[in-house]
Amino acid sequence: MDIVSRVDLLTKLRDVDKRSKKMCLACPTVITAPWFAPYDKKKGYPVRFGNKVEPLICGEKTFLDIHQTIRTARSSVHIALWSFMPGFRLVRGNANKDLDSIGELLIDAALNRNVKVRIILWGLYKSGTLMRIPALMKESEKDPYYRDDWEWYNRIQDVVNIELRYETTKSITASHHQKTVVVDNKVGYVMGMNMRTSDWDTNDNLVFNFMRDPGSTPRHDISAKVEGPCVKDLEKNFAARWARSGRQSTAWIPVFVPGINRNIPVPFRAESGVKNTSPIDKIFINDMNSLRINPIYNGIPAQIVRTRKIKKEEAILKIYRQAIANANHYIYMENQYFRHEELARDIAKRVRARKGDFDFHLVIRVPDSALERAPTTDTLKIVENAYKEFGKIFTPYCIVANTLSSTTGSLMAKYLAGTSNIHSDNIYAGVVAIWGKDSSQAKYVENIKARMTHAQRKEIYAWTKKIPNPDKVHYQAIDAHVKTLIVDDIFASIGSANLNIRSMDYDSEINIAFKDKSVVKKIRMDLWKKHLNPVYMKNYPIDSDKLIDCKPEGITNAAKVWFDTAQYNKYLYKEDEWLVGTVMPLKMLMKSKWYDRLLQIPFITNPVIDHYVDNDTSPSSSEFV
């Protein structure tokens, strides 16, 4: 097909500028458009047109969608994760508990619909915890929290259609951090989240949410559901990793496959030069390479981009740098980290080129320790200094869970400890304050209480006696695990890559980059409405809804809402009042006197075993006195 006919066909699929000939239609022959990474046939994937990309904010929406897709799978399910717990529940509050967990769902697909399930995990991790030496592994087998996981690993030995492999890295400093799911070669998910205890949360990120897994705090994350030609590249990436994981050396640090055969060591790194791919793996690779997926009518251009140390592939870094260079009005980033000085210098360069008339919005999680805060501060100063040259203030943000009265927390804890009645007025008021009038959450709390051990109830009750200032409000930082970039309401990237050296240079990462005004603007608005919560801003002197729903050139005015909200929340935080939305100035919470005021809730950090039934009866309050 010549270039002219290609453009004519492309115009039918998408409203594309006919003057641009630097495009392709789901084919490997491509001249890269300026927003995307240059295409190298030996390492990387081209820009492909005719895709449908649907952003999914937070775990509840992502995992519900994955659950529904896998339940209708007919041929294959391919999962690549950094961390995986078979007992992880994709769906919460569902009456049918049998297929809520990913492990049970995969077994059902394999046995009842003859679906071929392949799972690749990073070779150093199992079930969200570091693989242990054999002596410690025996202890972990006794832990009821992992009981379902151990049983699942044993059960799949008899399931022909489920195969699990571990892919290792050559360096101990690197990991396989990609998170993808592909079903039936038709629907793909490029995720920031794994499938383990801490990854599920609702979009409102409540302090107390007993639908979350025990040991989990509020978490904000985002994934992308993909349909169209880019799914082929997700499958090709999976097939290549699958083949590599099948030819690993066991030359270094032998650890053992959990719950399977302890005489079979899991390889820690691949042996260079080994090319003994099995015939079955070769067929699988050929099938994925020859896969043809038709473009979707009115689909959008997108590109699967990766970081791979093996081939020195840095496509994610390239699309970030190109997007920053192309930005005219704003750059919006949400990420777990901001510790990449090269990208910070690129942003500072863009700020100077626009003479400070340029908005850079950054939302990251509050660093856990002083060791994390120092490199974050150093990177932020690079951007801050650029704004100072023009007399402007640069404010990075973090997000904090909506406030919680310690009194409410104390009442809820007493109920779980078996010393209070959930039907009392105070407890009901606490439930309404935390969950609204959602009775299903209250029932879930009752279920947890029934399954708690005596020791756990005792520990919770002890905590109720130690709450400082019980009449004041306390707060908890939201774990911003998200990894997304949005530029000028036209270009976005979602995936697994953090803004640090590891993700851009060493770890294997995967993102999807896409360009479309309507899709990208919707993501930006959904995220801003979540963080700013205009419902609570009715008395704000400017119409915040209109400011958020603006053109890229109007972002400067919308930025005032961010700054004003954060400063107001700073005051509310100091006065122990309820926050407006979730936005806070990051630097304030990075200072120890503010950081230390974040509430650390013992019975969130000490697991309540949802799938572990304890025969111990509920103790009376006198037992705790």
**Window from 92-101, 198-207, 269-278, 428-437 with minimum mean pLDDT:** 269-278
**Report field, pTM of the whole predicted structure over 0.85:** no
The pLDDT > 70 percentage for the chain reads 65
Q: Is the model's pLDDT at 95 over the cut of 60?
A: no
**Window from 354-368, 413-427, 520-534 with minimum mean pLDDT:** 413-427
Identify which of 15-29, 92-106, 151-165, 207-221 has the greatest average pLDDT. Answer: 151-165
User: Distance (Å, rounded) from C-alpha 601 to C-alpha 591?
Assistant: 20
**Window from 109-113, 268-272, 289-293 with minimum mean pLDDT:** 268-272
The rounded radius of gyration (Å) of the Cα atoms in the chain is 25
Is the fold of 59-220+230-292 the same as that of 302-336+339-395+481-590? yes
Q: What is the mean pLDDT of the chain?
A: 76
**Window from 254-263, 341-350, 392-401, 496-505 with minimum mean pLDDT:** 254-263
Q: Which residue has the higher pLDDT, 342 or 476?
A: 342
The pLDDT value recorded for residue 532 is 83
The pLDDT value recorded for residue 445 is 64
Residue pLDDT, tens place only, 273-311? 334 466 777 777 777 777 888 888 889 999 999 998 777
Domain boundaries, the chain: 59-220+230-292, 302-336+339-395+481-590, 402-477+599-624
Q: If pLDDT is split at 50, 70 and 90, which confidence band does 136 have?
A: very low
User: 302-336+339-395+481-590 has which CATH code?
Assistant: 3.30.870.10
Please classify residue 538 by burial: count the beta carbons closer than 10 Å to its beta carbon, then call 0-12 exposed, 13-18 middle and 19+ buried. Answer: exposed
Residues facing residue 333 across a β-bridge:
362, 485
Go through the chain and tell me how many residues it has: 625
Q: Which residue has the higher pLDDT, 561 or 65?
A: 65
Q: For the residues 601-618, what does the mean pLDDT come to?
A: 36
Q: For the residues 444-454, what does the mean pLDDT come to?
A: 65
Q: Is the model's pLDDT at 601 over the cut of 80?
A: no
Q: Residue 155's CB: how many other CB atoms inside 10 A?
A: 15
Pairing of the two strands 491-495 and 509-515: antiparallel
The pLDDT value recorded for residue 162 is 93
Q: Which residue has the higher pLDDT, 222 or 21?
A: 222
Domain spanning 59-220+230-292, CATH architecture: 2-Layer Sandwich (3.30)
Q: If pLDDT is split at 50, 70 and 90, which confidence band does 611 have?
A: very low
Element (H, E) at 360: strand 359-364
